[in-house]
Amino acid sequence: MSAISDIVNAVNSGASSVRTQVEAALARAKSAQQYHALLALTETRALERADEMDERRARGENLGTLAGVPFVVKDNYLAFGAPTTAAAKILENFNAPIQATVVERLEAEGAICIGKANLDAFAHGGSTENSAYGVTYNAHDRTKVAGGSSGGSAVVTALDVVPFALGSDTGGSIRQPASFNGVYGIKPTYGFTSRYGVVAMASSTDVMGCFAKSAGDVELIMKIIAGRDEKDMTTLPDYFVVQEESDLPLKIGLIRETMTDDVDPEVRSITEEYVECLTKAGHTVEEVSMPLAPLALAMYYIIVPAEVSSNLARYDGVRYGRRAEGVKTLAELYGRSRDEGFMTENKRRIMIGSYVLSSGFFDAYYLQAQKARTLLINQFNELFSQYDLLLTPTAPTPAFGVGDNVDDPVKMYLSDVMTVPASLAGIPALNIPAGVSHGGLPVGVQVIAPMREDAKLLAFAKAMEARS
């Protein structure tokens, strides 16, 4: 099953035109408006590109491996055709002067961006309720959250508006909404994808990835966006080679600390059912212990706010973005523009970051967290010396209700508890849709692979998908 190949084949065979594909995707986006997954359609530019591609095809030109495939970007990717807001007021009118490397690579292969998806402002959040432009609702139940921060991208993928969508993942922002909406979502190895042209959140864990309905489609997109980019010096040398067959059998460790009584019973039982599927497929699954896993969230909420406070210092209302009116001095301009332009959660993270980095507290918080991070990575390395892959639920619950956690930041942070360990270690992890709760909400499992083993992870997911 490949929704992407279906479109490419239809376009290349002449059975369909690029314009037909783009118009159909735009129509689907408009009929899904009640989910509020998109902040803007890039309709004019998308149709212009479609017509230009149809003309090129008429001349016999090759349109690329993604000929005519419509997609959506999370609105923290700099992309032409509509403002890039990061779902924050401070960037409400920001028309990006360049495009993200990842977007450029997809367009070079003939893909067409049709819209920009909602997110928690500056990707701070786990529900897409923290957007300056309104809440995004779950694709399966509009009384539930979409998850986040890449909630809009997950929802448009789940609703088949587009066959794939781009997200960014700093601590779970692709995997958790993928779980909540029942789609695949990957966070690759740190440095696998270029961050150039994406609004920075926490530079030591930010990675770009995608959502799709099948593991094969995720792999197809990752192959195109992967690799070295001179504009992001942390990108790794090209290493991603698609693995056609999965190794069998694999030894997989189920992390015990992610299956405690704190985790929703239905999430645990769906994870256990997935373990049975793995066993039937010939894999060996054993329970393993990762004692530091429960502490990873505390590390994360020190390290990431520290990086956030630094990365968000640039938004000051001077060179671009929204500027407060009626201010008399430069200091007032900075202070008021930032107060008016950021959401409460942005301010919390900036201030926690300022706190843990300030003299007197630096050693106790920031340095301690970075040392703890080393110990966490050591525990991953020990486990990967015995196991090929690790398994956890992706989130401790199915999608929660809209409004349930908005006034309690710590409760909201806990929805990232399963996903932050792989982010701190920089290793690849994938949400695989695994089941549905009695209330009809999707539940996913997270499969984690060693550093740079993205290809093995996807080959495994494809093989499991082929069996189901």
Partner 1 sequence: MSTITTDDVRHLAQLSNLQLTDEEIAHLQIDLGNILAYIDQLNALDTSGVEPTYQVTGLENVWRSDEVQTSDATRDVLLALAPEAVGNSVKVPQVL
Q: Shortest distance, CB of residue 184 to partner 1, whole angstroms?
A: 24
Per the CB < 8 A criterion, the answer to whether 120 and 18 are in contact is no
Give the separation between CA 215 and CA 290, rounded to whole angstroms: 27
Element of type H or E holding 220 = helix 215-225
Q: Which residues contact 7 (CB under 8 A, 6 or more apart)?
A: 16, 21, 67, 68, 69, 70, 163
Nearest distance, CB of residue 142 and partner 1, angstroms: 28
Q: What is the DSSP letter of 363?
A: I
Least CB distance to partner 1 at residue 367 (A):
6
The answer to whether the Cα torsion of 121, 441, 221, 389 is positive or negative is positive
Q: Which is closer to partner 1, CB of 127 or CB of 214? A: 127
Buried b (16+ CB within 10 A) or exposed e, 53-71: bbeebeeeeebbbbbbbbb
Rounded CA-CA distance 424/428 in Å is 11
Q: Which is nearer to partner 1, 28 or 323 (CB)?
A: 323
Q: Which residue, 34 or 329, is less far from partner 1 as judged by CB? A: 329
Residues annotated as catalytic (active site), given as ranges: 74, 149, 173
Min CB(234)–partner 1 separation in Å: 6
Nearer to partner 1, 123 or 285 (CB): 123
Nearer to partner 1, 277 or 298 (CB): 298
Identity of the residue, 14 or 326, whose beta carbon is nearer to partner 1 in the bound complex: 326
Smallest distance, Å, CB 282 to partner 1?
32
The owner of tokens 């495939």 is 69
Least distance from C-beta 380 to partner 1, angstroms?
Answer: 10
DSSP 232: B
Any idea of the CA torsion for 420, 423, 425, 426, to the nearest 10 degrees?
170
Encoded tokens for 61: 């030109």
CA dist., res. 244 & res. 65, Å (int):
18
